[in-house]
Amino acid sequence: MNPALLALLAGATCIALSPIFVRVSEAGPTATAFWRVAIAVPVLWVLYLRSRKTTRRYSGKWPLLLAAGFAFAGDLAFWHFSIKFTSVANSTLLANLASIFVTLAAWIFLRQRPGGVFLAGLATALLGVAMLVQTSLTFSSTGLLGDALGVATAMFYAGYILAVKGLRDRGETTLHLMAVTSTITAIFLLPAALASGETMLPASAYGWWMLVGLALISHAAGQGLIAYALAHLPAAFSSVSLLFQPVMAALFAWVLLSEALVPLQIFGGLVVLGGIYLARRGSRI
């Protein structure tokens, strides 16, 4: 198998484990999001400092870095709450609607009118979302709130994607981007976690190991592998990670958390994935 494609699938699998780590975390959702990036930050900076080449100055990068860090902080905070309130499958599927919101933002703010394939994908994805919401209304009193938070996650992640695209267009390197944005994200999340009154520290060594796994496996390794893979693969392969990740997350939730899927949820998930695929095919970004 192509090493870059293998890295893409491995990275998506690492990220798919993150809802499992979040669900079993002994810290609160926002606190878990803070530790997710805070523990990874030193590792990312060491990797960057060991690999960096000639330093270059990139025009206008700091506003975009701040925007990326803020958007990623919102993404993690909303997603971690979503995971607590709804199923792992629903939360992960809805968070992956980010690619659709990216194109919608380009349509609204950049006047980049999408084509018919994107609109067909959008309609298909919305139909799938309706099915997922129906399962939440039927089986969980907090599921609808969790689903709504999953959609909010996708909006924040879309903002992160747009900021990162602007940074990469200016020549920003992957490791520097991850190190700086993770640091900024941690700075935004720490006061939010403290103000929320959540449990900040795990109660056991097991709890700390879950946070270390979340930081190093899901965040550093997962994001790093995908960033490496996409630098060596055609852009169309990014859709593979978007489709593979929620499938693996649902599988992990079933095996590790005994979180079974009902038929309507499975069908709705497949419809959402099909919609995301069509939307990515019809997107200009």
Residue type, 16: A
**How far is residue 264's CA from residue 261's CA, in Å, rounded to a whole number?**
8
- Domain positions in the chain are 3-281
Residue 202 and residue 211: Cα distance in Å, rounded?
9
d(CA 176, CA 53): 11
Angstrom distances, CA of residue 229 to CA of 6, 202, 236: 8, 34, 12
Contact, 158 vs 96, CB < 8 A?
A: no
- Mean pLDDT value across the chain: 87
Per residue in 82-101, pLDDT tens? 999 999 999 999 998 887 88
pTM of the predicted model as reported, rounded to 2 decimal places: 0.88
Backbone φ and ψ for 142, nearest 5 degrees, come out as -110, 0
Tokens of 137: 């209304």
Residue range 9-42, pLDDT digits in tens: 898 899 999 999 999 999 999 999 999 999 999 9
pLDDT computed for residue 112 by the predictor = 75
Residue 90 is encoded by which pair of tokens? Answer: 């629903």
Cβ proximity of 120 and 59 under 8 Å: no
Alpha helices in the chain (DSSP H): 3-16, 18-24, 29-51, 61-85, 88-95, 98-110, 116-139, 143-169, 174-196, 205-213, 222-232, 238-257, 263-281
Residue 30's pLDDT is what?
96
51: exposed, middle or buried (C-beta count within 10 Å: 0-12, 13-18, 19+)?
exposed
Amino acid letter, residue 264: L
> Is 148's pLDDT higher than 60?
yes
Mean pLDDT, residues 53-80: 83
CA distances from 198 to 119, 188, 190, 229, 271 (A): 41, 16, 11, 36, 36
